[in-house]
Amino acid sequence: MFYALLVAFGLCAGVTTLLFGFGGGFFAVPLLYALLLASHEAGSVVSQHAMQIAVATSAAVMIVSSALASWRHHRAGSLDWALVRLLVPGIGLGALLGAIAALWLDSDWLRWLFVAYVLASLLDGWFRPGFVAKTRSQRPPLGPGHSTLIGVPIGAVAALLGVGGSVMTVPLMRRRGASMLTATAMANPLSLPMALVATLTYALLPQAQLTLGVGYLGLVNLYAATALVAGAWLGMALAAPLVGRINDTLHARAYLLLLGGVLLTMLLVRS
């Protein structure tokens, strides 16, 4: 039942990765957190580090899901690789800092940071002009220095919470005049450096080497990651015909509604 749920939610994550650039973290983190708490005794090593395990496993899943989604969007011609190259170094550095910070934070604190991040993103997208309805942006193109300053916090927050950078990169692109198709497509290759750096950190750093049992590489639950990846691959295959066919305003509103569902899930889960 545990792995059947993971495959089912992985399918949902595959759909949102391709259509919204979520990278799967917004599904994987709340689900894994809840399942780990439900399947392990209170006070066990796994339950004490449930949020870190969920975040680490989510990052590992994003390596595959974001790569697959990036390839699909590349073939569709919806990626700006010049902008990706500008943002990647800063995101990679930020991811290293965020993943290291997560190893030292209490799991419950990490959960509330996740909740605060999603709530702030939801309110910003809904009430500040420029997200739901696309505006003509007059902002200048990003330069190397500005890209690094923007990329470091994106990578740090994404790796710290295991959510990918979509909730920061999508509004960034959106408020520079991008369509939802372009903004969500760009979130996938920009999530890759974060996912790679964060996964290596969670898997290999000495602080991540806990006695969690069979099937773990550091804090990464390999069995759960495999089930989620299998579901995500199927979800992307099912969602592929919808790419580029969703009304722009509807696409933006659906993005915010999904954020609301994730926020509600994390508020209902109790440690």
Task: Give the per-residue pLDDT at 226.
Answer: 94
pLDDT level of residue 227 (50, 70, 90 thresholds):
very high
List CB contacts of 108: < 8 A, sequence separation 6 or more.
Answer: 51, 271
Range of the domain at 174: 1-268
Task: Give the per-residue pLDDT at 57.
Answer: 92
Question: What is the tally of structural domains in the chain?
Answer: 1
- pTM: predicted TM-score of the whole model, two decimal places: 0.80
Report the DSSP beta bridge partners of residue 216: 221
Task: Give the per-residue pLDDT at 111.
Answer: 76
Q: Are 113 and 159 in contact (CB under 8 A)?
A: no
CB atoms within 10 A of CB 77: 8
**5: nearest Cα among 227, 221, 250:** 227
Going by their DSSP bridges, the two strands 216-217 and 220-221 should be labelled as antiparallel
What confidence tens digit (pLDDT) does each residue in 28-50 have? Answer: 888 888 888 888 888 888 888 88
- For the chain, what percent of residues have pLDDT higher than 90? 9
How far is it, in rounded angstroms, from Cα 234 to Cα 250? 24
Residues 210-229 have a mean pLDDT of 88
**131: nearest Cα among 260, 248, 262, 263:** 248
What confidence tens digit (pLDDT) does each residue in 15-27 have? Answer: 988 888 876 677 7
List CB contacts of 109: < 8 A, sequence separation 6 or more.
Answer: none
Secondary structure, 3-state, 63-121: HHHHHHHHHHHHHHCCCCHHHHHHHHHHHHHHHHHHHHHHHHCCHHHHHHHHHHHHHHH
What confidence tens digit (pLDDT) does each residue in 75-121 have? Answer: 888 888 888 888 888 888 988 888 888 878 776 787 788 788 788 88
pLDDT level of residue 221 (50, 70, 90 thresholds):
very high
Q: Are 63 and 195 in contact (CB under 8 A)?
A: yes
